[in-house]
Amino acid sequence: MPSYKLTYFDARGLGEAARLLFHLADVPFEDFRVSHDDGSWLKIKDSTPFGQTPVLYVDGQAIPQSAAINRYLAKKFGYAGKTAEEQAWADAIVDQFKDFFYVAMRPLIVAIRGGESEEAIAKIRKEVFLPGRDTYFKILNDILEKSKSGFLVGDGLTYADLSVADNLTTLEKNGLANLAEHPKLAALREKVYTQEKLKAWIASRPDTQF
Amino acid sequence: MPSYKLTYFDARGLGEAARLLFHLADVPFEDFRVSHDDGSWLKIKDSTPFGQTPVLYVDGQAIPQSAAINRYLAKKFGYAGKTAEEQAWADAIVDQFKDFFYVAMRPLIVAIRGGESEEAIAKIRKEVFLPGRDTYFKILNDILEKSKSGFLVGDGLTYADLSVADNLTTLEKNGLANLAEHPKLAALREKVYTQEKLKAWIASRPDTQF
């Protein structure tokens, strides 16, 4: 088996789906966490392919970009979708979050971190974030409505379920969604988090805001 | 062979890489173009999986999201990368453009379309767009520097080359880059556009701004 090292920040964020895939598949990996604060990120930044994290090192060979990493591992471990069409749908669902993040979530984060006024933040939340979130949640709900398995694609778990479930946690932890109001999404996350191979990790993983 | 229909706007944008893949592979498809102006987009919007284009219909079954569509076709037609690692790199390069688009290019487009002042547009161009473009171009240049084939991944053409080549055209057509200053990128585009199977399409396709 190759040696795997995942380099990312001490956050779930763009790195957690890969970690979940390793745990699901019972494949050992180095969970290497860098930080802005202690300089450990800047020390390795230039050695990464795109100057970004996450990076997955497979026997030392680097693979950048979170979705590419997750898809690579999902294919290796059997969580990419069972047919070409299922694979495309898993990919599409993962990319839909990226669109939602960039169009609706990032402007809010930028406003908050940029120290904008409470009024300006409230305006962005109302006019940009909430409509984007509601559109995104409707897409997920429509998919789950038609699902016979309770998973997002086909009759089994794919890496799309892992990404979506953990992104829902991030939204909830930051006061951006209340899953009690979205029972289908809550049920999906529960289904993911109670996978036998994931339970121990979910219970013991670092509790980070993002 | 299944029947393929690609629904997108009358633009290259997020639809052109799929069209290039069909032409490369000599596979017939319906190039269905909708418009905001004549209401044809609104008429079908609710029938699309995510309320967005592009959508690929394979024997009537819908696949949404451009990268998912392109990857699906690339796998079918043999342009997804030859190994698991090459596939991951093609995916990563395609996603890197998406990051660049959202972080650097979209704010400029939003400012221009939103009728911001010339001063405000110049500020965004200088402080957001140009640094983002230069970082993105450096990534592509670094990859091409090490490439023995002149392609972005491995020793042959992948769907990443198609996406990148056509995105370069969009940047140039909109005064956002001058490829004469980036010979490696210009050479990559030339290599793509002069593929025997693409020449006729490139010469005859609708000449759109985006």
Question: For B115-150, what is each residue's pLDDT tens digit?
Answer: 999 999 999 999 999 999 999 999 999 999 999 999
Render pLDDT for A71-106 as a digit per residue (tens, 0 to 9): 999 999 999 999 999 999 999 999 999 999 999 999
- Interface probe for A, chosen from B73, B87, B91, B138 (most Cβ of A below 10 Å), is B91
Q: Which residue of A has its CA nearest to B46?
A: A139
Residue B67 is nearest to which of A69, A95, A135, comparing CB atoms?
Answer: A95
CA distance A178 to A77: 32
List every span in chain A annotated with CATH 3.40.30.10.
4-79
Render pLDDT for A9-57 as a digit per residue (tens, 0 to 9): 999 999 999 999 999 999 999 999 999 999 999 999 999 999 999 999 9
Helical segments of chain B, H only: 16-25, 40-45, 66-77, 84-100, 106-113, 118-124, 130-146, 159-173, 183-193, 199-204
Identify all chain B residues contacting A72, using CB atoms and an 8 Å cutoff.
84-85, 87-88, 91
Cis peptide before A54 (omega within 30 of 0): yes
| Segment holding B32, helix H or strand E | strand B30-34
Identify all chain A residues contacting B70, using CB atoms and an 8 Å cutoff.
none
| Segment holding A88, helix H or strand E | helix A84-100
Give the pLDDT of residue B20: 98
Render pLDDT for B156-198 as a digit per residue (tens, 0 to 9): 999 999 999 999 999 999 999 999 999 999 999 999 999 999 9
Render pLDDT for B91-123 as a digit per residue (tens, 0 to 9): 999 999 999 999 999 999 999 999 999 999 999
Contact: A67, B95; criterion CB under 8 Å:
yes
Give the pLDDT of residue B123: 97
- Interface probe for A, chosen from B56, B61, B66, B89 (most Cβ of A below 10 Å), is B89
Identify all chain A residues contacting B103, using CB atoms and an 8 Å cutoff.
102
Mean pLDDT, chain B, as a whole number? Answer: 97
User: Integer distance in angstroms from the first to the last C-alpha of chain A?
Assistant: 31
Q: Which residue of B has its CA nearest to A56?
A: B88
Contact: A92, B51; criterion CB under 8 Å:
no
Q: Are B177 and B133 in contact (CB under 8 A)?
A: yes
Q: What is the CATH number of domain B4-79+197-204?
A: 3.40.30.10
Binning pLDDT at 50, 70 and 90, where does residue B83 land? Answer: very high
List every span in chain A annotated with CATH 1.20.1050.10.
84-193
Establish whether this prediction's ipTM goes over 0.90. Answer: yes
Give the pLDDT of residue B155: 96
Identify all chain A residues contacting B87, using CB atoms and an 8 Å cutoff.
72, 75
Give the pLDDT of residue B101: 97
Backbone angles phi, psi at A99, to 5 degrees: -60, -45
User: Which CATH superfamily does the domain covering A4-79 fall into?
Assistant: Glutaredoxin (3.40.30.10)
- Residues composing chain A: 210
Residue B63 is nearest to which of A63, A67, A88, comparing CB atoms?
Answer: A88
- Domain A84-193 architecture: Up-down Bundle (1.20)
List every span in chain B annotated with CATH 3.40.30.10.
4-79+197-204
On whether any CB of chain B is under 8 Å from the CB of A145, the answer is: no
Contact: B92, A58; criterion CB under 8 Å:
no
